[in-house]
Amino acid sequence: MIMKNYGFIRTAAAVPAVRIADTEYNAAEICRLAGDAFDKEVSLVAFPELSLTGYSCGDLFAMNPLVKGAENGVKKILEFSRGKAMTIVVGAPVPYRSRLYDCAVVIRNGNVKGIVPKTYIPSSDSRWFASGSDFLSPDVRNDGALLSNGKDHVREGYCGEIRYAGQRCNISPNMLFGLGGYTFAVELGNDLWAPVPPSSLHALQGAQIIVNLSADNEILMRDRYRNGLLGQHSAKTICGYIYASAGYGESSQDLVYAGAASIWENGEQLAENERFRIESSLIVADIDAEKLENLRRRSGTFRSLSPAGTDASSYYRLYNRVSLGDPCETDFEKELFRYIEPHPFVPEEDLDYRCREILSMQVIALVRRLSHINCHTAVLGISGGLDSTLALLVTAMAFDKLGWNHDRIVAVTMPGFGTTSRTKNNAWDLMEALGVTCREISIVQACEQHFKDIGHDPAKHDATYENSQARERTQILMDIANQTGGIVVGTGDLSEMALGWATYNGDHMSMYCVNAGIPKTLVRSLVKWAAENRFDSGDAASSGRGVREILLDIVDTPISPELLPANEKGEIQQVTEDLVGPYELHDFFIYNFMRNGYSPDKIYFLARKAFSHPEECPICHPEERSDVRISTYNDETIMKWLKTFVRRFFSQQFKRSCMPDGPKVGSVGLSPRGDWNMPSDAWSTLFQDNI
- Residue 59 confidence (pLDDT) above 70: yes
Q: What is the pLDDT of residue 349?
A: 81
- Residue 228 confidence (pLDDT) above 80: yes
Q: What is the pLDDT of residue 295?
A: 94
Chain Cα centroid distance, residue 555? 27
Bridge partner list, 96: 99
**For a pLDDT cut of 90, what percent of the chain falls above it?**
79
Q: What is the pLDDT of residue 572?
A: 55
Bridge partner list, 88: 45, 107
Q: Tens of pLDDT along 93-123?
A: 999 999 999 999 999 999 999 999 999 999 9
Pairing of the two strands 182-188 and 377-381: unpaired
Cα–Cα distance measured from residue 408 to residue 343, given in angstroms and rounded to the nearest whole number: 37
Q: Would you place residue 674 in the very low, low, confident or very high pLDDT band (cuts 50, 70, 90)? A: confident
What residues contact residue 388 under an 8 Å CB cut-off, 6+ apart? Answer: 380, 381, 382, 427, 491
- Residue 153 confidence (pLDDT) above 70: no
Q: What torsion do the CA atoms of 189, 193, 198, 200 make, to the nearest 10 degrees?
A: 130
Phi and psi torsions of 15, nearest 5°: -125, 100
In total, the chain counts a number of residues equal to 691
Q: What is the pLDDT of residue 621?
A: 45
Q: What is the pLDDT of residue 437?
A: 97
Cα–Cα distance measured from residue 377 to residue 472, given in angstroms and rounded to the nearest whole number: 21
Phi and psi torsions of 326, nearest 5°: -80, 155
3-state SS class at 409: strand
Kindly report the three-state secondary structure assignment for every residue of 103-164. Answer: EEEEEECCEEEEEEECCCCCCCCCCCCECHHHHHCHHHCCCCCCCCCHHHEECCCCCEEEEE
Q: Tens of pLDDT along 6-16?
A: 999 999 999 99
Mean pLDDT of 622-628: 44
Instruction: Report the candidate in 651, 576, 641, 581 with the shortest Cα–Cα distance to residue 607.
Output: 641
For the beta sheet containing 409-413, the strands, ordered from the edge strand earlier in sequence to the opposite edge, are 437-440, 409-413, 377-381, 486-490, 512-513
Q: Would you place residue 322 in the very low, low, confident or very high pLDDT band (cuts 50, 70, 90)? A: very high
Pairing of the two strands 111-117 and 99-108: antiparallel
Mean pLDDT of the chain: 90
Q: What is the pLDDT of residue 319?
A: 87
Angle CA 168–169–171, to nearest 5: 135
Choose between 454 and 572: higher pLDDT.
454
- Residue 649 confidence (pLDDT) above 50: yes
Q: What is the pLDDT of residue 347?
A: 86
What residues contact residue 216 under an 8 Å CB cut-off, 6+ apart? Answer: 189, 222, 226, 245, 246, 257, 260
For the beta sheet containing 160-164, the strands, ordered from the edge strand earlier in sequence to the opposite edge, are 160-164, 167-171, 111-117, 99-108, 87-96, 44-46, 8-15, 281-288
- Residue 502 confidence (pLDDT) above 90: yes
Check: CB of residue 160 under 8 Å from CB of residue 181. no
Bridge partner list, 285: 11
Cα–Cα distance measured from residue 632 to residue 607, given in angstroms and rounded to the nearest whole number: 10
Check: CB of residue 141 under 8 Å from CB of residue 306. no
Cα–Cα distance measured from residue 12 to residue 5, given in angstroms and rounded to the nearest whole number: 17
Mean pLDDT of 646-664: 96
Choose between 555 and 145: higher pLDDT.
555
Choose between 311 and 374: higher pLDDT.
374
Query: Sign of dihedral through CA atoms 414, 408, 539, 396?
Result: positive
Cα–Cα distance measured from residue 304 to residue 315, given in angstroms and rounded to the nearest whole number: 17
Cα–Cα distance measured from residue 530 to residue 434, given in angstroms and rounded to the nearest whole number: 13
Choose between 621 and 159: higher pLDDT.
159
Check: CB of residue 142 under 8 Å from CB of residue 161. yes
Q: Which domains does the chain have, with CATH numbers?
A: 9-323 (3.60.110.10), 351-690 (3.40.50.620)
Integer-rounded Cα Rg, in Å, for the chain is: 31
Cα–Cα distance measured from residue 238 to residue 596, given in angstroms and rounded to the nearest whole number: 12
Low-confidence winner among 189-203, 276-290, 531-545 (lowest mean pLDDT): 531-545
Pairing of the two strands 486-490 and 377-381: parallel
Cα–Cα distance measured from residue 431 to residue 406, given in angstroms and rounded to the nearest whole number: 10
- Residue 177 confidence (pLDDT) above 60: yes
- Residue 137 confidence (pLDDT) above 90: no
- Residue 522 confidence (pLDDT) above 60: yes
Of the ranges 219-233, 317-331, 544-558, which is most confident?
219-233
Cα–Cα distance measured from residue 288 to residue 182, given in angstroms and rounded to the nearest whole number: 10
Instruction: Report the candidate in 157, 521, 532, 524 with the shortest Cα–Cα distance to residue 320.
Output: 157
Q: Would you place residue 562 in the very low, low, confident or very high pLDDT band (cuts 50, 70, 90)? A: low
Pairing of the two strands 175-179 and 320-323: parallel
Q: Tens of pLDDT along 359-392?
A: 999 999 999 999 999 899 999 999 999 999 999 9
Number of other residues whose CB lies within 10 A of the CB of residue 96: 19
Instruction: Report the candidate in 659, 499, 653, 642 with the shortest Cα–Cα distance to residue 576.
Output: 499
Q: Would you place residue 146 in the very low, low, confident or very high pLDDT band (cuts 50, 70, 90)? A: very low
Mean pLDDT of 429-435: 95
Low-confidence winner among 119-128, 159-168, 561-570, 634-643 (lowest mean pLDDT): 561-570
Q: Would you place residue 149 in the very low, low, confident or very high pLDDT band (cuts 50, 70, 90)? A: very low
What residues contact residue 134 under an 8 Å CB cut-off, 6+ apart? Answer: 99, 117, 140
Check: CB of residue 483 under 8 Å from CB of residue 632. no
Instruction: Report the candidate in 338, 355, 337, 335 with the shortest Cα–Cα distance to residue 346.
Output: 355
**For a pLDDT cut of 70, what percent of the chain falls above it?**
88
Q: Tens of pLDDT along 71-81?
A: 999 999 999 99
Please, what's the b/e burial string for 187-221 (b: 16 or more CB within 10 A of its CB; e: otherwise)? bbbbbbeeeebbbbbbbbbebbbbbbbbbbbbeee
Residue type, 206: G
Counting Cβ atoms within 10 Å, is residue 143 exposed (0-12), middle (13-18) or buried (19+)?
A: exposed
Check: CB of residue 480 under 8 Å from CB of residue 412. yes
Q: Would you place residue 310 in the very low, low, confident or very high pLDDT band (cuts 50, 70, 90)? A: very low
Mean pLDDT of 151-159: 49
Mean pLDDT of 477-490: 97
71: left (phi over 0), alpha (psi -120 to 50) or beta: alpha
Cα–Cα distance measured from residue 100 to residue 103, given in angstroms and rounded to the nearest whole number: 9
